[in-house]
Amino acid sequence: MGGFPILSLMLLVPLLGAVACLKLEAPAARQVALVATLIDLALGVVLWLNFDIGGAQWQFVERHEIFAGFNYALGIDGIALVLIMLSVFLMPVCIGASWHSIEKRVGEYMAAFLLMETLMIGVFAAQDIYLFYIMFEAGLIPMYLIIGVWGGDNRIYASYKFFLYTLLGSVLMLIAMFWMVNEAGTTDIPTLMAYDFDPGVQTWLWLAFFASFAVKMPMYPVHTWLPDAHVQAPTAGSIILAGVLLKMGGYGFIRFSLPMFPEASAQFAPLVFVLSMLAVVITSLIALVQSDMKKLIAYSSVAHMAIVTLGLFAFNVQGLEGAMMVMLSHGLVSGALFLCVGVIYDRLHTREIARYGGLAINMPKYALFFLLFTMGSIGLPGTSGFVGEFLSLAGIYQVSSWVALVGTTGIILGAAYMLYLYRRVVFGEQKNADAAAMPDLELREYLMMIPLGLAVLWMGVYPESFIAPMRQDIAALDARLARVKPHYDAPLMLGKGTPAEEAHGEHAAEGGHH
């Protein structure tokens, strides 16, 4: 792809679609939006196929010095690649999920989503710290409108909360960026990633970035905007929120906090562990008692993202790869779960779990897909959830068995609340006649469910496809973090006793990947 600006094209296609949608009537706007997102998906596939695994760290680099103070610089590594793939994969699903359920102001709705897609890709592809910030922050505007215009009854409160929470988090990050750029003399993210800031200052910089990413992620005490936003947002809004927007927090940690401030990250790792452990246990328990399906999945998102932060701050390859895999898997699975909720919400217009029951009888195919995604969320081996959660917990186990122990309760509790949800909605007797009369999936819904289901299985059965592009970047990050490796209470030992000759071979093979 010598010099072809594919990343710019991926930004431009949805942007043009958004402008076009503003002017179009409902049916045309839907089609334009779908075509634009599918083109972007195709471009994403081209991007993936042309990504040279094991090649240069930064590929598809574009750089134009057209602004004062910052540059239009794009480029991706493997981490950004998989997250961009996740974004472009989920976008057509979002458009499909809104095909019939959004009836008012369709043009503006589609425009907001396409704008969102541009900004999401921009966040992951930006190689300039200020360009990243602009893209990161700009996403607030379309999401605010999506929640506020097309949301549920309490949408206005939720939209304000979403906007102001995340804005307050990110403005402090901007101040930290000013300081860093002034100190390092460059806005180039790869250069900044290798720059060694004074450890004393790192503390402050880390906290400023943490304020932003912890809110976005969201981490335990500042997660309260998420359930509100999810419950009020339309289905597609929830998909994109859970699927991609939350990943920006994790991406921020892995792209900024860890490589740029390794000392501060190590210093604050205990804080992150405590918050993550609290999140895993508390939000899982909260999820267990929810009567609203979307709220339940929203709380489960907080718990899953806590596993991500645990993995990230384990500072080893397993933890980092696991965190990335949890993010990808959670993007697919929670998106799919919100889609499942949306499918029955479109039919019955309620998210009350108690209003459903026995859907396996009248919607068997729906029940099948819902089961698959439920298992994915639980982390059943063979689904995407397992790979990431296993790796993350394996990573954190080396650092602290106790943290891993608490983290693992999240998996158990996750199984509890998801199975409990599934039982109440899909099994049991059919309590309500209207719920019992709901028709099974239609073609449009199959078209959304099947690709999601296949992706979940693919990621569960052969995760190598997704880990391979990231491996080199994770290894580089691991090397960067080597100097601040925490004390391991249960480190991986290459088998010393000769009897376990085979086990030794396996470990060596695994080590060889990294």
Give the count of beta carbons closer than 10 Å to the beta carbon of residue 168.
Answer: 13
Q: What span, in angstroms and rounded, lies between the C-alpha atoms of 109 and 341?
A: 20
Q: What span, in angstroms and rounded, lies between the C-alpha atoms of 275 and 307?
A: 11
**Min. distance of Cβ 297 from other proteins in angstroms?**
25
Using CB under 8 A as the binding rule, whether residue 271 contacts other proteins is answered as no
Q: What span, in angstroms and rounded, lies between the C-alpha atoms of 230 and 251?
A: 21
Q: What span, in angstroms and rounded, lies between the C-alpha atoms of 338 and 36?
A: 23
Q: What span, in angstroms and rounded, lies between the C-alpha atoms of 257 and 505?
A: 35
**Min. distance of Cβ 299 from other proteins in angstroms?**
26
Using CB under 8 A as the binding rule, whether residue 28 contacts other proteins is answered as no
3-state secondary structure 216-238: HCCCHHHCCHHHHHHHHCCHHHH
Using CB under 8 A as the binding rule, whether residue 4 contacts other proteins is answered as no
Q: Which is nearer to other proteins, 172 or 415 (CB)?
A: 172
Q: Which is nearer to other proteins, 183 or 440 (CB)?
A: 183
Q: What span, in angstroms and rounded, lies between the C-alpha atoms of 146 and 182?
A: 36
In this chain, which of 17, 148, 376, 410 binds other proteins, going by CB under 8 A?
Answer: 148
Q: How many residues make contact with other proteins (CB under 8 A)? A: 35
Q: Which is nearer to other proteins, 117 or 137 (CB)?
A: 137
Using CB under 8 A as the binding rule, whether residue 67 contacts other proteins is answered as yes
Retrieve residue 38's tokens: 């599918």
Using CB under 8 A as the binding rule, whether residue 168 contacts other proteins is answered as yes
Buried b / exposed e along 78-95 (16+ C-beta atoms within 10 A): bbbbbbbbbbbbbbbbbb
Using CB under 8 A as the binding rule, whether residue 138 contacts other proteins is answered as yes
Q: Which is nearer to other proteins, 27 or 69 (CB)?
A: 69
Q: What span, in angstroms and rounded, lies between the C-alpha atoms of 232 and 305?
A: 21
Question: Per CB under 8 A, which of residues 382..421 are in contact with other proteins?
Answer: none
Using CB under 8 A as the binding rule, whether residue 184 contacts other proteins is answered as no
Q: Which is nearer to other proteins, 119 or 277 (CB)?
A: 119
Name the region of 152 (left: φ>0; alpha: ψ -120 to 50; beta: rest): beta
**Min. distance of Cβ 146 from other proteins in angstroms?**
11
Using CB under 8 A as the binding rule, whether residue 282 contacts other proteins is answered as no
Q: What span, in angstroms and rounded, lies between the C-alpha atoms of 385 and 479?
A: 27
In this chain, which of 26, 46, 99, 105 binds other proteins, going by CB under 8 A?
Answer: 105
Q: Are 189 and 228 in contact (CB under 8 A)?
A: no
Retrieve residue 179's tokens: 């300081």
Helix, strand or coil, per DSSP, at residue 384: helix
In this chain, which of 140, 279, 341, 403 binds other proteins, going by CB under 8 A?
Answer: 140
Using CB under 8 A as the binding rule, whether residue 16 contacts other proteins is answered as no
Region of 156-164, 293-301, 341-349, 404-412 interacting with other proteins (CB under 8 A): 156-164
Q: Which residues bind other proteins (CB under 8 A)?
A: 22, 66-69, 105, 108, 130, 133-135, 137-138, 140-141, 144-145, 148-149, 155-156, 159-160, 163-164, 167-168, 171-172, 174-175, 178-179, 181-182
